[in-house]
Amino acid sequence: MQRNIRLRLLSNFVIFFSLTAIAWWSVLLFTLNRDAFQGKAGESKMLMIAEGTISNDAEYLSTQYYKDLQAEYKRQEWMILGESLVFILSIIIGVYLINRGYNKEIDAAQQRRNFLLSITHELKSPIASIKLVLETFIKRELSPKHINQFSNNALKETDRLNELVNDLLLAAKVETSYTPNLEKINVTQFLTDIIERLRNKYPHVVFDFRKPSDTVDIYADKTGLTSVAVNLLENAVKYGVEKTKISTVLRQNGQEQIFIEIADNGIGIPNKEKDKIFERFYRVGNEDTRKTKGTGLGLYIVRQIILAHNGMVTVSDNRPQGTIFTISLPVNNG
């Protein structure tokens, strides 16, 4: 960190010195150009007076020679000014590009650090829980009730590990080789099944689903779309408040497009973070103090899958509190 600060200070000094040198060079050239013009004009005026061509300064200023001489040196002044501006703008643009690249590298390094911290926690926590259950089975004689309870806990942690591995594999796949396996999907029934499953998983959350009276069918990858819906709905649960309410709205725009809106009443997303949340590994806040679980892959996977379906996903504020994710998908991707 100290080394980076020293390098930034050194680079800022070099930039300041370069700009100062260009400014001084420009002033010096202007001064030399002005002195050269005045010297040449004075010399030519004395020659013309000696030859009897002119008799005073006013006559000299009206001669064609003086006008041509003045125009020539004006052109040189504009050349000096233009070159100075080109140099200064080149340095400013270069500094901007270097700083932008540097900031991107810093952000990428921070995201990688956050990912390593979160993935370490996400892996160690279920492994520790499963290990504890197995050690308990070995060391103690348990009643059938406790065996069933501990076994269920271990299975939940195993499912959590499985979901994490699937997310990692899917994130790698959508970046390089993901191609939707299109099939006809009844979106109304598809979302109904997912929401019902999550109602059972999160009984403390209120799930509301509004759908059109007619059946909505599209051609899409069912596995990919499942990942999208589950990621968005479980994110809404994860960042919810005490009385979490999640509303899902399905609507169709003619025969061309469908829209899925998932709205929650959670903590919301700051405006400055809205453009970043779909980046790989990015999570809002600091990994050292964050309490919610995750790896920063969920929304990245959501966006990549939706883009592969020629759709769009956007995020906006839910009034008075919370977030709305809106997905638009073409009915027929064929």
Quote the pLDDT of residue 287.
Answer: 47
For the record, the structure tokens of 290 come out as 């964050």
The candidate with the shortest Cα–Cα distance to 294, out of 140, 162, 117, is: 117
Write out the DSSP string of 146-169. Answer: HHHHHHHHHHHHHHHHHHHHHHHH
Instruction: Give phi and psi for 210, each to the nearest 5.
Output: -110, 130
Q: How far apart are CA 255 and CA 197, in angstroms?
A: 29
Quote the pLDDT of residue 295.
Answer: 67
Query: What is the β-pairing status of strands 217-221 and 245-253?
Result: unpaired
Q: What is the pLDDT of residues 273-318, one digit of tens each?
A: 888 888 877 766 554 444 556 667 788 889 999 999 999 999 998 8
Q: How far apart are CA 170 and CA 224, in angstroms?
A: 9
**3-class DSSP string for 228-253:** HHHHHHHHHHHCCCCCCEEEEEEEEE
Dmax (CA) for the chain in angstroms is: 128
Query: What is the β-pairing status of strands 323-330 and 312-317?
Result: antiparallel
Ranges of beta strands (E only) in the chain are 182-186, 206-210, 217-221, 245-253, 257-264, 312-317, 323-330
Query: What is the β-pairing status of strands 182-186 and 257-264?
Result: unpaired
CATH of domain 183-330: 3.30.565.10
Cβ-proximal residues to 86 (8 Å cutoff; 6+ apart), any chain: none
Q: What is the pLDDT along the chain (334 residues), one digit of tens a residue?
A: 556 667 667 777 777 777 788 788 888 888 888 888 888 888 888 888 877 787 787 887 888 888 888 888 888 888 888 888 888 888 788 878 877 877 777 777 766 776 666 667 777 888 888 888 888 888 888 888 888 888 888 888 888 788 777 777 777 777 777 888 889 999 999 999 999 999 998 888 999 999 888 878 899 999 889 989 999 998 888 887 778 899 999 998 877 889 999 999 888 888 888 888 888 777 665 544 445 566 677 888 899 999 999 999 999 988 888 899 999 999 886 5
Domain spans in the chain, listed from the N-terminal domain onward? 1-177, 183-330
